[in-house]
Structure 1
Amino acid sequence: MHRDDPSPVYVTNPGGGCRLLLIGDHAGRAIPSGLDGLGLTPADMDTHIAWDIGVADLGERLSARLDACFIRQTYSRLVIDCNRRPGAPAAMPEISDGVTIPGNLGLDAQTQAARRAEIYQPYQDAIAAELDRRAGRPTILVSLHSFTPVMQGFVRPWRMGVLHRDDSAFSNRVLALLQRELGDAAGDNQPYRMDETDNTVPLHADPRGLDYLELEVRQDLIAETSGQDEIADLLARLLLAAIRPG
């Protein structure tokens, strides 16, 4: 990476008082200047293949409403997907939702290692450092994501979804609250199921014995400022209620 390229990590409200630690694996869409845009067009970089649309702004709003720390990735998931295990083919995909990524074709081991060292590792290290500072303090890891309303021709009916592994009391409480508000538009392990492809939550929550939430919000709901404010208000209320059940 060039010295003028942005930092791979952006931290809002470090040390925030809320017990929720917010993270955004796919919040950014920057590309290091030396990668020539990965051979993609600006229009490609505006779509869901490049980033989780709306998550950066949603996370900032939740951080302010909750007094929570928010740690987000600056670079596009196409450069390296921080929610995939190092070495997994999907970490630097050659094709995403039918779009070929020219800058990822035939990457050698040295190039892959450089991306991990320059982008993936600083992001994960920042999360680990914040969790280390909170040692002994109750913390719940909240991973914010967004999903495209239509995928491979299928119109997704959910407004939000909670991804989990049937091992999270906090996720269960948030899901119940969302279902009370949204009915069937709140997805249980929809539009994805949390499984072995997920990296960041298991990497940090499991060794520390932390509860977690992996939350998906449909992108059209948070693509604009008004929607971001509306969803942030709703989520702040429900997340606080889930922290203090009963």
Structure 2
Amino acid sequence: MLHPTTEAPAPDWPAPATTLNAGGRSDWVLVCEHASCHMPADYGRLGLPPGAERDHIGWDIGAADLTRALAARLDAVAVLAGYSRLLIDLNRPLGTPASIPERSEATEVPGNRALPQAERDRRAARMFAPFHAEVAALLDARAAAGRRSRLLTVHSFTPVYLGQGRPWHLGILSGRSRKLAGALLAAVGADAPDLRLALDEPYQVEDDSDYAIPVHGDARNLDALLIEVRNDLIRDPAGVDLWADRLSRALARI
């Protein structure tokens, strides 16, 4: 990984990571890699029409609000990203096609086409490396203090992708923490039996296409889960509150 840049944050260049409730007492450490749709004006919206970055291609709709609400209910620390995943995806290994996507779902991203390596390195140093350095430093500090850490990364997904409907309300993904993923699925299902829940939907965690769970979770031998809530369920405060209540109850039981 590249070293984080030493450039100071500016109004249009906010901090790449924001840590909330650093002294939280919970074992859960919340991470939201797709919390923001912000793109500095320098990038000209990457050639996309106005507002395109606020759709699901630019961030995980509702995930940041859900992360904040979970942090409050669980008394957990949370780390939230400061930039749109269209600039660089914090949950993709550097150098992979999805890291800086030239196409997101059915949308071409002109500003990412034929990108010079120097610009790829700039984004990695200014956005990717500082974010993951903050997560790593947090986990290191907790380990040094003898504190247990259980990683939970918070995501949302679009109900329809490339014309295909996605019927699930919640997906729970994992690498090595398969038993824990099943326990969380059972705990949510016991609280809300009418929901459509699934393991490893609508994606799967894989070392060559995911970053946070393999690197910050499995490589440290931590409990590590990724949750995906369908984004039409958490687009407003009432939906966020409902899911934060539901998930915090389930997380507290496993």
* TM-score category (smaller protein): over 0.9
Residues 15 and 130, structure 1, Cα contact 8 Å, conserved in 2? no
2:240 is matched by which residue type in structure 1? Q
Alignment correspondent of 2:189: 179
Letter in 2 for 1:142: L
Q: Indicate the SS of the match to 1:91.
A: coil
1:31 aligns with 2:42: no
SS of 2:51's partner is helix
Question: How far off its partner does 1:43 sit?
Answer: 2.9
Report the AA paired with residue 45 of structure 1: E
- Structure 1's 179 and 170: CA in aligned 2 closer, same or farther, altered over 3 A? same
TM-score by length of 2: 0.91
- Residue identity in the other structure for 2:159: P
Give a deviation string over 1:175-226, Cα, whole Å, max 9, x none: 2222333456001111112223111111111232101111000001100011
- The residue type equivalent to 1:3 in the other structure is A
1:68 and 2:80 aligned: no
Partner SS for 1:213: strand
Aligned ranges for residues 154-173 of structure 1 at < 5 Å? 154-165=164-175, 167-173=177-183
Which amino acid is 1:154 matched to?
Answer: Q
Report the Cα offset of residue 144 of structure 1: 0.4
Equivalent of residue 151 in structure 1, options 141, 153, 161: 161
Deviation at 1:16, TM superposition (A): 1.1
Distance in 2 separating the partners of 1:24 and 1:140: 14
**1:217 lines up with 2:217 in the alignment:** no
Query: Partner amino acid for 1:162?
Result: I
TM-score, normalised relative to structure 1? 0.94
In structure 2, C-alpha distance between the alignment counterparts of 1:192 and 1:206, rounded to whole Å: 17
Counterpart CA distance in 2 for 1:148 and 1:19 is 29
Q: Distance in 1 between matches of 2:118 and 2:182?
A: 42
2-structure distance, mates of 1:91, 1:190: 21
Residue of structure 2 equivalent to 1:231? 243
Distance 2:156 2:220 in 1: 26
The 3 A distance-change label for structure 1 pair 229 and 64 is: same
Equivalences, count: 242
2:26 aligns to what?
A: 18
What is the CA distance between 1:156 and its match in structure 2? Answer: 1.0
Distance 1:94 1:182, change over 3 A: farther
Q: Partners in 2 of 1:3 and 1:139 — Cα distance?
A: 32
Give the % identical residues. Answer: 39
CA RMSD of aligned residues (A): 1.5
* Structure 2: segments with no counterpart, 5+ residues: 1-6
Greater alpha carbon shift after TM alignment, 108-117 vs 148-157: 148-157
Query: Superposition pairs for residues 1-246 of structure 1, below 5 Å?
Result: 3-4=10-11, 5-135=13-143, 136-165=146-175, 167-180=177-190, 181-182=192-193, 185-196=196-207, 197-242=209-254
Contact 2:171 2:228 in 1 (8 A): yes
Q: Hey, which bits of structure 1, 4+ residues long, moved more than 6 A?
A: none
Structure 1 residue 36, shift from structure 2 partner: 1.2
1:114-155 CA-partner distances (Å, limit 9, x unpaired): 100000011001101110111031110000000001111112
Residues of 2 paired with 1:130 and 1:59: CA distance? 17
Distance 1:151 1:144 in 2: 19
Does the 8 Å contact 1:168/1:211 carry over to 2? no
